[in-house]
Amino acid sequence: MSNKRIIGFDADDTLWENEVFFYRAQMKFIELHPQMKDPEEEILQIEKENIKFYGYGIKGFILSLLEASVRFSNNQPDFQNIAKIIKIGKDMLAQPIQVLPKVKDTLGHLSERYELIMITKGDLLDQQRKVEKSGLLKYFSSIEIVSEKDEQTYLEILKKNNISPKDFLMVGNSLKSDVLPVTKIGGTGIYIPHKFTWKHEEVNGTFDLERIVELKTISDLKLWLKKLI
Amino acid sequence: MSNKRIIGFDADDTLWENEVFFYRAQMKFIELHPQMKDPEEEILQIEKENIKFYGYGIKGFILSLLEASVRFSNNQPDFQNIAKIIKIGKDMLAQPIQVLPKVKDTLGHLSERYELIMITKGDLLDQQRKVEKSGLLKYFSSIEIVSEKDEQTYLEILKKNNISPKDFLMVGNSLKSDVLPVTKIGGTGIYIPHKFTWKHEEVNGTFDLERIVELKTISDLKLWLKKLI
């Protein structure tokens, strides 16, 4: 290590595709329920209501879709839809990992110079499986699977790693989970947008832009870090 | 700390009630499906098939019950059952914690003399919530929520805590998850049976009894440890 900085990486939609599979699953669901008026909004509403029960991840998503199927089928239920939605969930859980472009190169380069940790939220088993299947484990000194990415979570991770916030950079595609809480505790948030971002993760309002860096792709990290030193 | 030993504690059905809520949920499910011939066996079969997708925990259990409901309703589906099963799941997730008798006293006593860690498997969010609600957090130096309790998992925890297997004791109600893997890596397994144990956790066959201690209740730990020193 030539540098005491620690770089945290979000995983879903930062290192590998994720949201697109939720998107496709939702499209399949909508095809099965042509009677829904504003399906995306109706599903999002149920998902939001259910986060306090289910947290994040595929299993909770599927339970919410099943609930939506019941709620919006009124008196003309199609029982086969239930079986089809369960199958959609299992297909999602068995989905191969699609590592995003330039991720391997970038992590290979950075892991020789910095300590990298992966910080991801969601189902424990599902996330562990994704980490293993991704082939990216070797680049990280530790993997943190958390239930919520808020200031408290980041403070605990920094404490565990014995590092001060000013030496911590967090890279991710979610302003709400990866960038803002990190900037609030005095770290730097590096925002790399992804085409698909879950609506629940979208943030409104203004925020201190001083500690936020926006990069187009993950491979821009190398150059940006070089300039920083 | 007067002792370098570390004691690991399973949580579900060792520190608080758990399986009884699955049992009651299953009873409600069976009442909703009077047509099933051998419902317990049929549900267990689906659960076992689904562990590779869902892992352990309430969300996976409910998804398996929903699948069972579809599979065993043949051509006479009752759509309302789906809504009822989803509700059963939410009730389970919102269930208050019932700490088992003598647990607080015992942990209070032991935590002054040993380092205690909680090692539990299941849904990350659900287990975190249970730990917080239980009021037992203060007795433990760390909480490990894992997706599987096998030899590999225990070896990693020992490594992280920098302790050798011979100084590790694991207390739990499951021979399969808490006791046998620990004895296999050279630790001591302390088996405290609970009235309800999930069938998947039952073990057949013979095993080396030298490293296994069976106690009737958790409060017997104090005396047993005193004799040991």
* pLDDT tens for each residue of A180-229: 999 999 999 999 999 876 666 666 666 666 788 999 999 999 999 988 76
Of A56-65, A168-177, B44-53, B199-208, the least confident: B199-208
pLDDT digits (tens, 9 = 90+) for B138-177: 999 999 999 899 999 999 999 988 899 999 999 999 999 9
- Phi, psi angle pair for A35, to nearest 5°: -75, -15
Chain A's closest residue to B62, CA to CA, is A63
| Fold for the domain defined by A6-16+97-228 | Rossmann fold (3.40.50)
Query: Could you tell me which residue, B227 or A184, shows the higher pLDDT?
Result: A184
Neighbours of B221 (CB within 10 A): 22
Residue to test with chain B: of A52, A82, A90, A142, most B Cβ within 10 A: A82
At B12, give phi and psi (nearest 5°). -60, 120
Check CB contact of A63 with chain B, cutoff 8 Å.
yes
Q: With 50 as the cut, is the pLDDT of residue B2 above it?
A: no
Q: Is A82 on the interface with B (CB under 8 A)?
A: yes
**Per DSSP, what are the bridge partners of residue A139?**
none
Hey, which of A6-10, A55-59, A212-216, B195-199 has the most confident mean pLDDT? A6-10
DSSP conformation class of B72: T
With contacts defined as CB-CB under 8 Å, which chain A residues touch B123? 55, 123-124
Neighbours of A229 (CB within 10 A): 8
Q: Which of A35, A34, A94, A36 shows the shortest CA–CA distance to A62?
A: A94
Q: Give yes or no for residue B3 having a pLDDT over 60.
A: no
Is the CB of A4 inside 8 Å of chain B's CB atoms? no
Of A66, A77, A124, the CB nearest to B145: A124
Rg (CA), chain A: 19
| Extents of the domains making up chain B | 6-16+98-228, 19-94
pLDDT digits (tens, 9 = 90+) for A119-152: 999 888 888 889 999 999 999 999 999 989 999 9
Mean pLDDT to the nearest integer, B24-37: 94
A126 at the B interface (CB within 8 A)? yes
**The predicted structure's pLDDT at residue B210:** 73
Residue B1 scores a pLDDT above 70: no
Please state the ipTM of this predicted complex. 0.82
Please give the structure tokens belonging to residue A159: 């404490």
CB nearest A82 (choices: B62, B70, B126) = B70
State the nearest Cα–Cα gap between A210 and chain B, in angstroms: 33
- The partner residue sitting opposite A79, judged by closest CB among B70, B89, B90, is B70
Shortest Cα–Cα distance, B132 to chain A (Å): 13
B6-16+98-228 has CATH 3.30.750.24 classification: no
Give the pLDDT confidence score for residue A1 in this predicted structure: 41
Residue tagged 């699977």 (tokens): A145
Task: Give the long-range contacts of residues A215-218, CB within 8 A, separation 24 or more.
Answer: A215/A190, A215/A191, A216/A192, A217/A101, A217/A102, A217/A192, A218/A14, A218/A15, A218/A100, A218/A102, A218/A103, A218/A106, A218/A171, A218/A192
Q: What is the mean pLDDT of residues A167-173?
A: 96
Written as six digits, the tokens of A171 are 């890279």
pLDDT of B63-82, one tens digit each? 999 999 988 887 566 778 99
Residue A55, min C-alpha distance to chain B (Å): 6
pLDDT in tens, A14-50: 999 999 999 999 999 999 999 889 999 999 999 999 9
- Closest-CA distance, B188 to chain A, in angstroms, reads 27
Q: pLDDT of A149-163, one tens digit each?
A: 999 999 999 998 889
Q: Residues near B12 by Cβ (< 8 Å), separated by ≥ 6?
A: B18, B19, B120, B122
Residue A83 to residue B63, Cβ atoms within 8 A = no
CATH architecture of A19-94: Orthogonal Bundle (1.10)
CB-based contact (8 Å) between B94 and chain A?
A: yes
